[in-house]
A = this chain, B = another copy of it.
Amino acid sequence: MSVTAPLGFRAAGVAAGIKDGGKRDVALVVNDGPSRAAAGVFTANRIKAAPVLWSQQVLRGGRLKAVVLNSGGANACTGPAGFADTHHTAEKVAELLGDSAGEVAVCSTGLIGERLPMDALLAGVESAAAQLSRDGGLAAADAIRTTDTVSKISFRRGEGGYMVGGMAKGAGMLAPGLATMLCVLTTDADLPADRLDAALRQATKVTFDRLDTDGCMSTNDTVLLMASGATGVTPDQDEFTAKVTEVCADLARQLLIDAEGATKAIAIEVVGAASEDDAVTVGRAVARSNLFKCAIHGEDPNWGRILAAVGTTDAVFEPDRVSVAVNGIWICRHGSVGDDRDKVDLRPRDVTVTIDLSAGPASATIHTTDLTAAYVHENSAYST
């Protein structure tokens, strides 16, 4: 179902020869309206790929007719020529749809620092436009995969019968402070751009922004939300935000589970924080500790490595008041030895680390993975 679950959207995914082996590598998602309100969030990385610079400009207008996406090349660090490539891609889509390039977003993913093969890409765009259909959501989700082993799609039905659908890609270079990957969300609710924007920012802040598999921030991350208004339903803002958040959380979970080389899905719950920012800061510091990630891979409830990571932050806490539970066993109490660590069962794939800072009422959860030899192998052998 993916991005074509809501009414008013068509999509396609085709193999244009950008990637080897005849795999799908160009996706197109088109909004047939009647509305074309849209919002987007982008990487916080200061080194931004050409398609990010382009799409940020397009989204300022709050309207999107279509988004074209390619895997097999990030078109990042490619200079003015790379930006022109993105521009030409958008113009090609506009020409095929009889519309304006100024309302066509572009997303790219793959190796940084190489120009895209424009002949192949533009031919692919043409073929994708010819294959656009109400059933194209799955093919589109397939076409944006890089090292993803599976397509990531989701949808939820909202009150009054509108729908939110989505597709995402991302398996490495997942880190917070940004959207962390490519994601296109669609809805047939009827909402103006500013309300879409508010819902999207609120949703990504507690989902994609709290996913940190390897602490590495991409140059291409983009999350778009497009509304067709095809149902004519204008939902309550909170209810709509909750639905968008559900779809984002579902996609984030799929990204986490498929992260390169990971064998564990780790939730780091920080509670008792003086502020939500503190909770996020502490959770991220732990999520980025290679020693912690190795310990969980070895099924070792090594709370010393957790505390060592907490101690690098400027969050409000007293060292002798911090407690840590792993899978519900409080093995560190008040900064010192707690319950018997042999009681911790780390064999399941899902691992929950709870850190109580005893400093206030705020909390946040960061999601990460273990660090494995397979991650090293994949990222030593594969160029991204």
Question: Binding site of A, secondary structure by majority: helix, strand, loop or mixed?
Answer: loop
B376 to A302, Cβ gap below 8 A?
no
Give complex CA distance A307, B219 in Å: 9
Query: Which B residue sits closest to A380, measured CB to CB?
Result: B298
Q: Enumerate chain B residues within 8 angstroms of A62, measured Cβ to Cβ.
A: none
8 closest Cβ pairs, A-B complex: A112-B304, A298-B380, A47-B311, A294-B379, A373-B373, A79-B336, A45-B311, A46-B311
Q: A113 contacts which of B113, B304, B377 (Cβ < 8 Å)?
A: B304
B291 to A112, Cβ gap below 8 A?
no
Give complex CA distance A47, B305 in Å: 11
Tell whether A309 is near chain B: CB-to-CB under 8 Å.
yes
A287-341 contacts to B, CB under 8 A, are 288-291, 294-295, 297-298, 300, 302-305, 307-313, 317, 319-320, 322, 332, 334-337
A324-368 contacts to B, CB under 8 A, are 332, 334-337
A300 to B77, Cβ gap below 8 A?
no
Most buried by B among A46, A219, A298: A46
Task: Determine how close the nearest CB of chain B comes to the CB of A84; give it in whole angstroms.
Answer: 13
Query: Which B residue sits closest to A377, measured CB to CB?
Result: B373
Tell whether A29 is near chain B: CB-to-CB under 8 Å.
no
Looking at A93-101, A157-165, A209-217, the stretch in contact with chain B turns out to be: A209-217
Query: Which B residue sits closest to A381, measured CB to CB?
Result: B298
Tell whether A78 is near chain B: CB-to-CB under 8 Å.
yes
B304 to A77, Cβ gap below 8 A?
yes
Q: A112 contacts which of B307, B313, B380 (Cβ < 8 Å)?
A: B307
Give complex CA distance A173, B294 in Å: 12
A112-B307, A304-B111, A376-B376 known; A336-B77 Cβ under 8 A: yes
Give complex CA distance A82, B290 in Å: 27
A335-B79, A336-B78, A379-B295 known; A289-B215 Cβ under 8 A: yes
A291-B379, A298-B379, A372-B376 known; A219-B79 Cβ under 8 A: no
